[in-house]
Amino acid sequence: EAQVTQNPRYLITVTGKKLTVTCSQNMNHEYMSWYRQDPGLGLRQIYYSMNVEVTDKGDVPEGYKVSRKEKRNFPLILESPSPNQTSLYFCASWAWENPGELFFGEGSRLTVL
Amino acid sequence: KQEVTQIPAALSVPEGENLVLNCSFTDSAIYNLQWFRQDPGKGLTSLLLIQSSQREQTSGRLNASLDKSSGRSTLYIAASQPGDSATYLCAVRPDTDKLIFGTGTRLQVFP
């Protein structure tokens, strides 16, 4: 079954404690992207990747890092989380030849105290 | 800077009604526009994709239109059902790498 898997789904942490949200897709997609969703602001793109070892900033990259060492994985790293990073995070993937068919993970709800 | 607005923010209708959700965008230079559905605790599911050269797309009871020159799209849902209750998001693609989302319309269809 084609899917994008995010972990953890729910996380409560404290300011400054490094954390990683993993994202994995099984469709051999070239593109992967991270979004955050906040009330009244919609989904905003954090980082995206066009292929292995190729990443670029989205609209709200501050405070986040990503890596793409393997095609299937695109982890989101918060080196020093702060309360303003409390949000719902989504990972998505799509094939370059079919950009309209995005597959989203089920979301990771992060709370930073 | 491209901005996407959705009106209304929330909508509650009785089952069986036909309804229209609106999406407007400020920059007409887009590759395509896409409508998504989001259920609580779930990710987004793509409903309809309209390429910039197209005027509308249909899937079952859903019909989406696009007027690029005026920066507007509508999602028409015919004969609404309680199972249609969800948040509906529109997103425009200014280039192949980006999607810019609206804030969504939360729809509730009651029996």
Written as one string, the DSSP assignment of chain A is ---EEEE-SEEEE-TT--EEEEEEESS--SEEEEEEEETTTEEEEEEEEEETTEEEE-S--TT-EE--SSTTB--EEESS--GGG-EEEEEEEEETTEEEEEEE---EEEEE-
pLDDT at B62: 97
Please give the pLDDT value at position A47.
96
* B42 inside 8 A of chain A by CB: yes
Strand A10-13 and strand A108-112: the pairing is parallel
Angle at A2 between CA A38 and CA B95, to 5 degrees: 55
Q: What is the pLDDT of residues A57-70, one digit of tens each?
A: 999 999 999 999 99
CA–CA min distance A31, chain B (Å): 8
Buried b (16+ CB within 10 A) or exposed e, B24-46: bbeeeebebbbbbbbeeeebbeb
pLDDT at position A34 over 80: yes
Q: Which residue has the higher pLDDT, A2 or A74?
A: A74
Any B CB within 8 A of A61 CB = no
Determine the Cα–Cα distance for residues B74 and A41; give it in Å rounded to an integer: 20
Task: Assign A42 a pLDDT band (cuts: 50, 70, 90).
Answer: confident
- What pLDDT shows up at residue A28? 94
B43 contacts chain A (CB < 8 A): yes
Alpha-carbon distance of B46 to A99, in angstroms, equals: 11
**Tokens representing B71?**
């920066």
Q: To the nearest whole percent, how much of chain B has pLDDT over 90?
A: 82
Residue A98 has pLDDT above 90, yes or no: no
Task: State whether residue B104 sits within 8 Å of chain A by CB.
Answer: yes
Please count the residue pairs, one from chain A and one from chain B, whose beta carbons lie less than 8 angstroms apart: 54
At B37 the pLDDT is: 96
CA distance A34 to A23: 9
A-chain residues near B101 (CB < 8 A): 35, 42-44
Q: Verify whether the Cβ–Cβ distance B44 to A104 is below 8 Å.
A: yes
- DSSP state at residue B15: T
Give the pLDDT score at B42.
Answer: 81
Average pLDDT over residues B89-104: 88
Residue A39: per-residue pLDDT: 87
Q: For chain B, first and last CA: distance in Å?
A: 41
State how far the Cα of A94 lies from the Cα of A105, in Å rounded to an integer: 12
- pLDDT greater than 80 at residue A100: no
CA distance B84 to B88: 10
- Are A105 and A93 in contact by the 8 Å Cβ rule? The answer is no
- Provide the token pair at A60: 């709200």
